[in-house]
Amino acid sequence: MFNRKTLQYLRFLPVQLFVGLLLCTWIPYLFFDWNYLTQGFNKASVFNILTSGTLTLLTLFTLNLIRQFPGITSTSYILPVFLFWFAIIFTLATPTDFPFSLTYYYLSSICLFSYLFIVNIINGHYQVQTLAYIPVGRATDMPKQVPSADWMKLDTTNLEQDVSGIVTDLHSDDLTDDWQKFIANKTLEGIPVYHYRNIRESLTGRVRINHMYENELGSLLPCENYMLIKYCLDFLIILILLPFTLIICLLTAIAIKREDGGKVFYVQSRVGYRGKPIKVYKFRSMRENAKEILTVDSDDRITKVGKFIRKTRVDELPQFINVIKGEMSLIGPRAEFIDFAVKLEKQVPFFNYRHIVKPGISGWAQVNQGYATGAEETQLKIEYDFYYIKHISFTLDLLIFFRTIHTTLTGFGSR
The 10s digit of each residue's pLDDT in 15-63 is: 888 888 888 888 887 776 555 555 555 666 788 888 999 999 999 988 8
The answer to the question of residue 59 being in a domain is yes
Q: Are residues 378 and 280 part of one domain?
A: yes
Q: Are residues 100 and 14 part of one domain?
A: yes
The answer to whether 131 touches 166, Cβ cutoff 8 Å, is yes
Q: Are residues 259 and 154 part of one domain?
A: no
Give the list of residues 6+ apart from residue 13 with CB closer than 8 angstroms, or none: 60, 61, 64
pLDDT for position 234? 94
Q: Are residues 80 and 63 part of one domain?
A: yes
pLDDT for position 98? 77
pLDDT for position 2? 45
Domain boundary among the residues 90, 109, 126 is at: 126
Give the list of residues 6+ apart from residue 338 with CB closer than 8 angstroms, or none: 269, 270, 271, 277
Q: Are residues 75 and 43 part of one domain?
A: yes
The residue with greater pLDDT, 154 or 218, is 154
Domain boundary among the residues 100, 126, 152 is at: 126
Q: Are residues 175 and 312 part of one domain?
A: no
pLDDT for position 322? 95
pLDDT for position 127? 57
pLDDT tens per residue across span 62-121: 888 877 765 566 577 788 888 888 988 988 888 877 777 888 888 899 999 999 988 887
The answer to the question of residue 216 being in a domain is no
Q: Are residues 134 and 91 part of one domain?
A: no
The answer to the question of residue 219 being in a domain is no
pLDDT for position 61? 87
Q: Are residues 234 and 314 part of one domain?
A: yes
Q: How many domains does the chain have?
A: 3
Q: Are residues 139 and 114 part of one domain?
A: no
Residue 370, H or E segment = none
Distance CA 183, CA 230 (A): 41
pLDDT tens per residue across span 350-375: 788 888 899 999 999 888 887 666 66
The residue type at 381: K
Q: Are residues 83 and 195 part of one domain?
A: no
Give the list of residues 6+ apart from residue 6 with CB closer than 8 angstroms, or none: none
Give residue 181's domain range: 130-204
Domain boundary among the residues 172, 204, 236 is at: 204
Q: Are residues 92 and 9 part of one domain?
A: yes
Give the mean pLDDT of the chain. 82
pLDDT band at 128 (very low <50, low <70, confident <90, very high): low
Distance of CA 50 to the CA centre of its chain: 28
pTM: 0.76
Given phi > 0 = left and psi -120 to 50 = alpha, else beta, which region is 216? alpha
The answer to the question of residue 218 being in a domain is no
Q: Are residues 63 and 43 part of one domain?
A: yes
Q: Inform me whether the pLDDT recorded for 278 exceeds 80.
A: yes
pLDDT for position 3? 47
